[in-house]
Amino acid sequence: MLPVLWLNKQHRRTCRCCGLTLIELLVTLVILSILAAAALPYAELTVRRNKELELRRALREVRMAIDAFHDDWKAARISKFESDASDDGYPKTLKVIVAGALGGDVNAGRRRYLRRVPLDPFADQSKPPEEQWILVGYQDEPSALTWNGKDVYDIHTGSDRQAMDGTNYRDW
Q: Give the contacts of 162 (CB within 8 A, at least 6 positions apart).
A: 168, 169
pLDDT in tens, 66-76: 999 999 888 87
pLDDT value of position 17 = 59
Domain range for 93: 2-171
Mean pLDDT, range 62-68, rounded to an integer: 94
For the whole prediction, is pTM greater than 0.75? Answer: no
pLDDT tens digit sequence for 27-42: 999 999 999 888 888 8
How far is the C-alpha of 138 from the C-alpha of 20, rounded, in Å?
72
Average pLDDT in the 68-91 region?
80
Domain count across the chain? 1
- The answer to whether residues 110 and 97 touch, using CB atoms and an 8 Å cutoff, is no
d(CA 119, CA 68): 20
* CA gap 160, 128 in Å, rounded: 19
pLDDT surpassing 70 at residue 117: yes
